[in-house]
Structure 1
Amino acid sequence: MNAGIVSLVLAYVLSQFYRAFLAVMSPELQISIGATPADLAAASGVWFLVFACMQIPIGELLDRIGPRLTSSVMFAIGGAGGAAVFAMASAPWHISVAMGMIGFGCAPVLMASYYIFARAYAPAVFATLAGVTLGIGNLGNIGSSLPMTMAVEAFGWRGTMWALAAATLIIAVAAFFFVRDPERAEGSASGSVLVLLKKPVIWPILLIMMVNYVPAAGIRGLWAGPYLDQVFGATAATIGGVTLVMSIAMAAGNFIFGPLDRIIPSRKAIVLAGNVAGVVSVGLLAVFAGHSVFLSAVLFALVGVCGATFVVIIAHAKTFFPEHLMGRGVTLLNLFGIGGVGIFQSLSGRVYNGVSGGLGPVDTYQVLFGFFGAALLFGCVVYAFSRDGRNEG
């Protein structure tokens, strides 16, 4: 890894952090500015939706001007600027604005790495490199659990956000100086994402991409804290510990599924097995939602591991992308992946509001977890009819 890749990976660590840290800040934000779980669900959804909406223009920018300027400028303006807005928030809607800005800033960093891997490395190692990047990036998930709880207790949530704004700006500057653009592909200025969308083979893959990360992101990034608090009366330390376990599991999953792509020739089999296991895990979580903190932590971890087939889905799809549309192809996948999370995060807030008034906490979260599981099951059924993609060797 050269300095440019390192800077992008560090940016991705912060991207993972920003998409998940609201879960452990929920009690502090409710006390300080009156932000309810539904408010934070909406703010989290804004992050994912803005992130997703930027993927198509980012694909164009990667193919036309390269990853260096695309990632560094957006990360500085959106990431650092959004963290600063968050630090100054005095009302729940300020959090939504800040999360939207941060989503804009984080949108290009992972795809900039994947673009470089797809253009400058052998196809057979793409999933492994992508999995390692995701695995390291999940340090951000880990940092947004117990360490974030400790930082907020020590420095307050505003002081912690100012520190994060400074760290984001430093990493953006490093990306500007150290990232190196791959040589442009012939015809990179021609074509569009519509060429890819006209390929029927892509659509089942896009659908599993849309729901693959929904349960893990929804639980880890938002609902773990309110669930543990409302069902079990868990302390902040307990919530931080359980989310830390899930974050470690999510990181481990990336190191498992990425290398599997070099061992098992059928990418479809890897993806389908992982996601069916995810359906079973989230289904058990719904059934045993009121059992114990320990069992919930174990099932959270299983959901986290199973949500890590993301990189193999991208490796599967990119076998059908022409070289000059690689940037637009990987960002199209990310659009569906992150956009799906954004949609379901927002819908989850509506589900919670719709059932919490008439049901107790356990029943409410059984419905919520069942909602996530049903979405993933539907994706698995459609994906089962996809054409397989094999390692290019």
Structure 2
Amino acid sequence: MKRGLVLLLLAYILSQFYRAFLAVLAPDLLADLALTPADLSFASGIWFIAFAAMQIPVGLALDRLGPRRTAAVLLGAAGGGGAALFATAQAGWQIAVAMALIGVGCAPVLMASYYIFARVYRPAVFATLASVLVGVGSLGNIAASVPLSLAADAVGWRGAMWALTAVTVATAIGCWAFVRDPEAVTGPTRGSLLDVLRIPAVWFVAPMLLVNYAPAAGLRGLWAGPYVAEFYGAALVGPVTLAMGTAMIVGNFAYGPLDRLFGTRKWVVIIGNLFGAVACAVLWLDPVPPLVATIALFAAIAAFGSSYAMTMAHGRAFFPAHLMGRGVTFLNLCSIGGVGIMQFVTGPLFEGAGGGAAGYRVLFATFALALLAGCAIYLFAPDSRD
């Protein structure tokens, strides 16, 4: 089981990389393929929508087939194929299709790990294990910053993508070889997504997941690149995105033990996301502050926006064993789908505001208001303490 989890961790590092790398390649793609920031926003959104759309079938596959086959096949075929298509792309639509395929390939890897955690380990340590996995997996965010920038400078963005294709396929083969499925469920084994939706707490936890990751993922995965290049210079894109990636790692590790420390998951999530909303609101009021303030605020959004694993632990506590795969993947659908929806929404809002500082003001306002709305609904969720 340990070797399998290491391979799934490597796969999740790739998943984190793929959701963030467009921000670094954006200047090259804009120049080489004559794309616009809105085109890249659409492509980034497609990754998250494809990822989210796969969560329901992935949940069914986890419960029926197990994590080994589910993760290995999708990562190798769709993830590797999408990376290869990206490396050969000549037009914007090919970039969008490639991102959709990569999203499909990455869809099962984190949920396969969470499924194993929920089925094999004690419920009380789920939040810590989940946060550690996401924290270490966030090294993909680091790789998708300065290291990717250096690789693209050395071998070109196409060469870098071919290397990633090889790594993706090799990781999928490793998952097939080493991941082990948990023992079969005893007792009830049937159920459906409708049974998940009949659990009242889901309707209060899901809206929080819909928004809590969207600002951090949206900025780190796309908007930070064009924003920094426009106002501070393209040379600073790598360092700023590196700071955000590092903050995400710190945030995930910091959130991990807080439920056991304070005896609550709900209030840890609420307070953290309110701080994230404040950081977005400061940028709403002053969309182009001095560089040091921008880095600090972007890092704060990234760190406080890392409450995903804690919120998943909150929701997981309400699912019986035979619905665990479908339950956690439904919650993940809300999280990733929320990022995709936000990417689709923010592109037109940015252009409708005329771009530039005015466009980014609207962007930060949207992030702040979404977080506040999510917290308002989440207030009514029952807490969970394993």
Q: TM-score range by the shorter chain?
A: over 0.9
CA gap of 1:293–1:119, structure 2 versus 1, over 3 A, is same
Q: Which residue of 2 aligns with 1:373?
A: 368
State the 1:308 CA deviation.
Answer: 0.9
Equivalences for residues 1-393 of structure 1 within 5 A: 2-186=2-186, 189-232=189-232, 234-235=233-234, 237-356=235-354, 361-390=356-385, 392=386
What amino acid maps onto 1:386 in structure 2? A
State the SS of the aligned residue for 1:298: helix
- TM (norm. structure 2) is 0.98
State the SS of the aligned residue for 2:382: coil
State the alpha-carbon separation in 2 of the partners of residues 155 and 283 from structure 1: 40
State the alpha-carbon separation in 2 of the partners of residues 122 and 190 from structure 1: 23
Q: Quick check: 2:351–2:359 contact (8 Å CA) kept in 1?
A: no
CA gap of 1:98–1:187, structure 2 versus 1, over 3 A, is farther
- Any idea what the Cα deviations from partners look like across 1:36-57, whole Å, max 9, x if unmatched? 1100000000000000000011
Q: Quick check: 1:64–1:188 contact (8 Å CA) kept in 2?
A: no
Q: Quick check: 1:250–1:304 contact (8 Å CA) kept in 2?
A: yes
State the alpha-carbon separation in 2 of the partners of residues 215 and 370 from structure 1: 10
**Corresponding residue pairs, total:** 386
CA gap of 1:350–1:188, structure 2 versus 1, over 3 A, is farther
State the SS of the aligned residue for 1:171: helix
State the alpha-carbon separation in 1 of the partners of residues 61 and 184 from structure 2: 12
State the alpha-carbon separation in 2 of the partners of residues 245 and 201 from structure 1: 35
State the 1:187 CA deviation.
Answer: 5.0
- Any idea what the Cα deviations from partners look like across 1:128-176, whole Å, max 9, x if unmatched? 1111100111000011011111110111000000000000000000000
State the alpha-carbon separation in 1 of the partners of residues 186 and 347 from structure 2: 46
Q: Quick check: 1:64–1:189 contact (8 Å CA) kept in 2?
A: no
State the alpha-carbon separation in 2 of the partners of residues 202 and 41 from structure 1: 29
What amino acid maps onto 2:375 in structure 1? C
State the SS of the aligned residue for 1:48: helix
State the alpha-carbon separation in 2 of the partners of residues 190 and 200 from structure 1: 20
State the 1:288 CA deviation.
Answer: 2.5
What amino acid maps onto 1:154 in structure 2? A
State the 1:189 CA deviation.
Answer: 4.2
State the 1:188 CA deviation.
Answer: 6.3
- TM (norm. structure 1) is 0.97
Q: Quick check: 2:352–2:359 contact (8 Å CA) kept in 1?
A: no
State the alpha-carbon separation in 2 of the partners of residues 107 and 23 from structure 1: 20
What amino acid maps onto 1:247 in structure 2? G
State the 1:200 CA deviation.
Answer: 2.0
What amino acid maps onto 1:6 in structure 2? V
State the alpha-carbon separation in 1 of the partners of residues 186 and 348 from structure 2: 47
State the alpha-carbon separation in 2 of the partners of residues 293 and 174 from structure 1: 42
State the 1:312 CA deviation.
Answer: 1.0
What amino acid maps onto 1:364 in structure 2? G
State the alpha-carbon separation in 1 of the partners of residues 315 and 157 from structure 2: 40
State the SS of the aligned residue for 2:99: helix
State the alpha-carbon separation in 1 of the partners of residues 296 and 367 from structure 2: 17
CA gap of 1:75–1:187, structure 2 versus 1, over 3 A, is farther
- Any idea what the Cα deviations from partners look like across 1:89-144, whole Å, max 9, x if unmatched? 00011100000000000000000000000000011111111111001110000110
Structure 2 unaligned spans of 5+: none
State the SS of the aligned residue for 2:191: coil
State the alpha-carbon separation in 2 of the partners of residues 175 and 190 from structure 1: 27
Q: Quick check: 1:43–1:95 contact (8 Å CA) kept in 2?
A: yes
State the SS of the aligned residue for 2:19: helix
Q: Quick check: 2:8–2:113 contact (8 Å CA) kept in 1?
A: yes
Q: Quick check: 1:63–1:184 contact (8 Å CA) kept in 2?
A: no
What amino acid maps onto 2:49 in structure 1? L
What amino acid maps onto 1:249 in structure 2? A
What amino acid maps onto 1:208 in structure 2? M
Q: Aligned residues: percent identity?
A: 53
State the 1:311 CA deviation.
Answer: 0.9
State the alpha-carbon separation in 1 of the partners of residues 245 and 138 from structure 2: 7
State the SS of the aligned residue for 1:20: coil
Q: Quick check: 1:188–1:325 contact (8 Å CA) kept in 2?
A: no
Moved >6 Å (runs of 4+): none
State the alpha-carbon separation in 2 of the partners of residues 143 and 214 from structure 1: 20
State the 1:23 CA deviation.
Answer: 0.5
Supply the RMSD in Å over aligned alpha carbons.
1.0
State the alpha-carbon separation in 2 of the partners of residues 178 and 306 from structure 1: 34
